[in-house]
Structure 1
Amino acid sequence: MGKIHDRISDRLRKFIEAQPVYFVGTAPERGGHVNISPKGYADTFAVLDETTVAYLDLDGSGVETISHLRQNGRITLMFCAFSGSPNILRLYGTGRVVVPADPDFALLIKNFGPHPGVRSIIVVDCDRISDSCGFSVPFMSYEQDRTLLDEWAERKDVQQRRAYRAKNNRESIDGLPGLSAEETDPTSQHS
């Protein structure tokens, strides 16, 4: 029922692009809390090549993914078919955090739609690409994206977003470093 792939084929790319939601899993090196985050907005995910993907990391109440990746790099992305043929796709790999001050940020941001609350771009080099049946995943209907996160970020000026990030995104719930003081400035770069 399950299959391991050596690359993200056109079929897998189309499957990824058709999913309105995906999940990101990370964990600290030892102990601590495993984190799983749902992600939406179709224009925030990109397949960069046959083994590399990236997504926009938007403002949020926590900074677990950034903290875990900076500590150990381990990440898993999961896509589930909630309509059509049953399928679950997992992309296992090593992630890195690209912040606006990094040299490759300006090139990477061109892969995504404009969003006001971009903290970073997460780039994942996949070392295992596997799919499985998804026979028990329920059918669910997609209605539309929630626009609340973008609306929230648009209501905040630069100082308010900087203060929010300084308060909520400096360290993980387990005390691991998150965004540094220099990384709390909102970016004005968009695709």
Structure 2
Amino acid sequence: MGKKLELITQELQTFIEAQKIFFVATAMREGTVNLSPKGMDSFRILGPNRVMWLNLTGSGNETATHLLESDRITVMFCAFEGKPLILRLYGTAKTYHQRDAEWDEYISLFPNLEGARQLIDIQVNIVQTSCGMAVPFMDYNREREELNTWAKKKGVEGITEYWQQKNTKSFDGFETGIFN
């Protein structure tokens, strides 16, 4: 059954690297909780207590907003194939934008994905596993290409305009910090 660990073990790192989808949850002190599925080749393990995620352009920018007020974050992985397992990484996070020196330091860890918006640097405080026996088996087919196609078509100027229109305020009306 479930275990609480202080770090990401080699076995859990192997599990994470094999996953095609993960979920990110953040919340401010007041307002909505954001829980989003993430995919593509956008997650890296930098050490036993540090991970990084490349956040791509989307219809909202809730994670960045929430992290401005509260740096708490949870990342969850589920085994949809093979042995059942749910893995949660609890921690604190910092957001890096293209204007930040950290962006240049870490962006090369990821493939060149159109619409790359932020890097989320997570210090993992607790690693928790649970059984996952109720998670259904699901077959992976392929990555969706729509986001990359859309972002390529928009180009850098079009993406920046989209950010100005859709990504400067959260669902609850708070600043996201994308242009600060």
Q: What is the TM-score when the length of structure 2 is the normalising length? A: 0.97
Could you tell me which runs of 5 or more consecutive residues in structure 2 were left unpaired when the two chains were aligned: none
Could you tell me which runs of 5 or more consecutive residues in structure 1 were left unpaired when the two chains were aligned: 183-191
1:80-126 Cα offsets, whole Å, 9 max, x none, are: 00000000000001011011111111121121111011111001101
Give the Cα separation in 2 of the matches to 1:113 and 1:159: 20
Contact 2:8 2:127 in 1 (8 A): yes
Give the Cα separation in 2 of the matches to 1:74 and 1:174: 18
Instruction: Identify the residue that residue 38 of structure 2 maps to in structure 1.
Output: 39
Structure 1: which amino acid aligns with 2:179?
Answer: A
Contact 1:91 1:130 in 2 (8 A): yes
Give the Cα separation in 2 of the matches to 1:154 and 1:6: 40
2:88 equivalent to 1:71:
no
Per the TM alignment, residue 158 of structure 1 is displaced from its structure 2 partner at its CA by 2.3
Instruction: Identify the residue that residue 178 of structure 1 maps to in structure 2.
Output: 176
Percent of aligned pairs sharing the same letter: 42
Give the Cα separation in 2 of the matches to 1:17 and 1:98: 22
Give the Cα separation in 1 of the matches to 2:43 and 2:51: 8
Moved over 6 A (4+): none
Structure 2: which amino acid aligns with 1:17?
Answer: E
Aligned length in residues: 180
**Paired residues for 1:1-191 under 5 Å:** 1-30=1-30, 32-41=31-40, 43-181=41-179
Give the Cα separation in 2 of the matches to 1:154 and 1:83: 32
Per the TM alignment, residue 159 of structure 1 is displaced from its structure 2 partner at its CA by 2.1
Q: 3-state SS of the aligned residue for 1:135? A: coil
Per the TM alignment, residue 179 of structure 1 is displaced from its structure 2 partner at its CA by 3.4
Structure 1: which amino acid aligns with 2:95?
Answer: V
Give the Cα separation in 2 of the matches to 1:125 and 1:155: 35
Q: What is the TM-score when the length of structure 1 is the normalising length? A: 0.91
